[in-house]
């Protein structure tokens, strides 16, 4: 026997780095990792590297770029001179960033997460983020933003979360949300800790339910208003997280008062004397006409946030003399929450009517009766068919009705076929049916019988006459050639 010789190759630090470079995309074939950065797979982390500019060149396959906690004060259009088609997360928080070019995101169209928080941004210029059609999360909190252009969020059709808290915003264009075309998928809007003094309650009420639940307005110097109180009180009763979790931070200022009070404590307090909102639910069908009642002269606001002063478009919405609102020829878009507001020296209250419009017409009360009759007739017909099947099904062997067939012994139950109704053994003393007569022409190869025939049984004599011949073809012939012997 020859002794085995183990060859050991020394692996030094240089060899390890060489092997990793061959396995990593940051090798010579994919580009080098920028200095003062840490690279792992397609992730590039340059956080806390004391950078004053974005490192260059950036590898083309970079997916996550972390530049937080640096000194990048300006983000110019040429920070990414080459297209980065795989970049989906860009982190630029804590940089003292004061300027962002409107062309800064031209070469990163696949960006889904953009973090610009904790910087020194003051304005959101027009079309600032218009190149980010796939952006889903935008973090802008803890900046110095005071002006928001109406077109700053143009083309952000996939934006789901927008964080604008801890800024200096005195007015946010909420009409962008009400229209539903600018930010159709927005599900969270944080406007907390800003300088908002008034918010249009009608426009807030017109927002989709999923956005009203996550619209954060706490820590703003809002002016006390009964409409705002009733809107928030309704959110508290519905357990909306944006209201229920920040009740103590939702405060407002009364005229002539210096201290802020809780908005949800305004019920019955002077000088506003706000009353809690009332709610009602009304169901209707397409084409119906309904009347939303109020007991005094008030003004109505539609689910779209429009105030009803008289006849609506095409006369479909009519404000009656007693203050009620009549809707004619209902359409699917008429569904939603209608607000009936009244403001006066003695009473300030709001009535919310949620209108549900079902997507089928209702021609009269007899339709329900016709449905009941149809159901009853169907049940009776089913019972009749079952009785016919049980008692009036004709016998398969009309010529054998008078022949009594003795019950088969218990030890023969396994020999009967489960896949054929042809009996395996002759029974009785009478003549069998013509369709069950077996002739020699029915035999096939190897003495087996073809379908429709049963081999004749030998005569039974002696004490063992009760034991029957097993029928191997009865069960096993359909699926297998191996007989079953009992």
Strand order in the sheet with 290-292: 290-292, 325-327, 317-319
pTM greater than the 0.85 cutoff: no
- Tell me which CATH homologous superfamily contains domain 281-358: Immunoglobulins (2.60.40.10)
* Calculated CA dihedral for residues 153, 159, 164, 165, nearest 10 degrees: 170
Burial label for 98, CB within 10 Å (0-12, 13-18, 19+), is middle
The H or E element spanning position 209 is helix 209-212
pLDDT for res 469 = 43
Please give the helix or strand (H or E) that residue 235 lies within, else none.
Answer: helix 226-237
Write out the chain's pLDDT in tens, 486 residues: 444 434 343 444 334 333 444 444 544 434 578 888 999 889 999 999 999 999 988 888 899 999 999 999 999 999 998 899 999 999 999 999 999 999 999 999 999 999 999 999 999 998 999 999 999 999 999 999 999 988 888 889 999 999 999 999 999 887 777 655 678 888 899 999 999 998 887 677 767 666 777 899 999 999 988 888 888 888 888 788 899 999 999 999 988 788 889 998 888 777 877 877 666 777 888 888 888 777 555 677 777 667 776 555 456 788 887 777 888 888 887 887 777 766 555 455 667 777 888 876 554 444 445 566 788 888 898 888 888 888 876 655 555 555 555 555 544 444 444 334 444 444 444 444 444 444 444 444 444 444 444 455 545 444 444 444 444 444 334 444 444 443
For residue 254, the Cα-to-chain-centroid distance in whole angstroms is: 42
The span from the CA of 47 to the CA of 90, in Å, is 12
Domain boundaries, given as residue ranges, for the chain: 281-358
- State the Cα–Cα distance between residues 89 and 48, nearest whole angstrom: 17
Write down the number of H helices and E strands in the chain. Answer: 8, 24
Instruction: Report angle CA 249, 255, 259 to the nearest 5 degrees.
Output: 40
């Amino acid at each position: 026997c020859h002794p085995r010789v183990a060859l050991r190759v020394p692996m030094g630090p240089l060899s390890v780095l060489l092997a990793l470079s061959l396995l990593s995309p940051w090798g010579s074939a994919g580009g080098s990792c920028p200095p003062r950065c840490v690279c792992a797979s397609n992730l590039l982390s340059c956080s806390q590297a004391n950078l004053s500019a974005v490192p260059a060149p950036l590898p083309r396959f970079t997916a996550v770029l972390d530049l937080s906690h640096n000194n990048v004060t300006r983000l110019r259009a040429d920070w990414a001179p080459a297209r980065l088609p795989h970049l989906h997360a860009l982190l630029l928080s804590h940089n003292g960033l004061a300027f962002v070019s409107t062309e800064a995101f031209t070469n990163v169209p696949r960006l889904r997460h953009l973090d610009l928080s904790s910087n020194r941004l003051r304005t959101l210029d027009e079309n600032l983020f218009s190149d980010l059609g796939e952006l889903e999360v935008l973090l802008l909190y803890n900046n110095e933003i005071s002006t928001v252009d109406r077109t700053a969020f143009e083309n952000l059709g996939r934006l789901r979360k927008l964080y604008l808290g801890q800024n200096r915003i005195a007015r946010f264009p909420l009409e962008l949300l009400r229209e539903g075309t600018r930010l159709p998928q927005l599900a969270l809007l944080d406007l907390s800790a800003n300088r908002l003094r008034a918010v249009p309650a009608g426009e807030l009420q017109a927002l989709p339910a999923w956005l009203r639940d996550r619209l954060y307005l706490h820590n703003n110097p809002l002016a006390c208003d009964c409409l705002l109180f009733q809107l928030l009180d309704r959110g508290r009763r519905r357990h909306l997280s944006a209201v229920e979790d920040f009740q103590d931070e939702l405060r407002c200022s009364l005229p002539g008062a210096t201290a802020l009070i809780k908005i949800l404590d305004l019920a019955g307090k002077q000088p506003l004397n706000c009353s809690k909102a009332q709610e009602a639910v009304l169901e209707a069908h397409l084409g119906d006409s309904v009347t939303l009642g109020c007991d005094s002269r008030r003004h109505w606001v539609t689910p779209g946030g429009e105030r009803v002063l008289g006849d609506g478009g095409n006369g479909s919405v009519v404000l009656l003399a007693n203050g009620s609102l009549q809707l004619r020829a209902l359409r699917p878009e008429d569904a939603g929450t209608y607000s009936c507001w009244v403001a006066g020296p003695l009473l300030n209250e709001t009535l919310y009517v949620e209108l549900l419009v079902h997507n089928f017409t209702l021609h009269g009360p007899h339709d329900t009766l016709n449905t009941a009759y149809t159901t009853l007739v169907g049940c009776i017909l089913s019972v009749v068919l079952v009785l016919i099947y049980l008692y009036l099904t004709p016998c398969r062997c009309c010529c054998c009705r008078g022949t009594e067939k003795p019950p088969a012994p218990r030890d023969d139950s396994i020999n009967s076929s489960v896949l054929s109704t042809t009996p395996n053994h002759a029974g009785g003393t009478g003549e069998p049916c013509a369709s069950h007569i077996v002739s020699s022409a029915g035999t096939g190869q190897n003495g087996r019988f073809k379908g429709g025939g049963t081999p004749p049984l030998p005569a039974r004599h002696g004490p063992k006459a009760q034991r029957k011949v097993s029928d191997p073809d009865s069960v096993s012939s359909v699926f297998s050639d191996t007989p079953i012997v009992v």
